[in-house]
Amino acid sequence: MRDFRDAKLMARTLKAELAKSKLDVSYSLALELVAKQLGVDQWNILAARIEADEQQDTEAAFQPPIPIFRIFDVDKAMEFYRDYLGFSVDFEHRFGENFPLYCQVSRGDCILHLSEHAGDASPGAKAFTWMRGVKVFHAELTAKDYRYLKPGLEEAPWGLQMTVTDPFSNRIAFCEKV
User: What pLDDT, on a 0 to 100 scale, did the predictor assign at position 162?
Assistant: 98
Number of structural domains found in the chain: 2
**Residue 61, in any domain of the structure:** no
Query: Do 83 and 47 share a domain, yes or no?
Result: no
Query: Do 28 and 89 share a domain, yes or no?
Result: no
HEC letters along the chain: CCCHHHHHHHHHHHHHHHHHCCCCCCHHHHHHHHHHHCCCCCHHHHHHHHHHHHHHCCCCCCCCCCCEEECCCHHHHHHHHHHHCCCEEEEEECCCCCCCCEEEEEECCEEEEEECCCCCCCCCCEEEEECCCHHHHHHHHHHHCCCCCCCCEEEECCEEEEEEECCCCCEEEEEECC
Q: Tens digit of pLDDT per residue, the chain (178 long)? A: 456 667 788 888 888 888 888 888 888 888 888 888 888 888 888 888 877 777 666 677 788 999 999 999 999 999 999 999 999 999 999 999 999 999 999 999 999 999 999 989 999 999 999 999 999 999 999 999 999 999 999 999 999 999 999 999 999 999 999 8
Segments forming the whole domain that contains residue 45: 4-56
Number of residues that make up the chain: 178
**Residue 62, in any domain of the structure:** no
Query: Do 92 and 156 share a domain, yes or no?
Result: yes
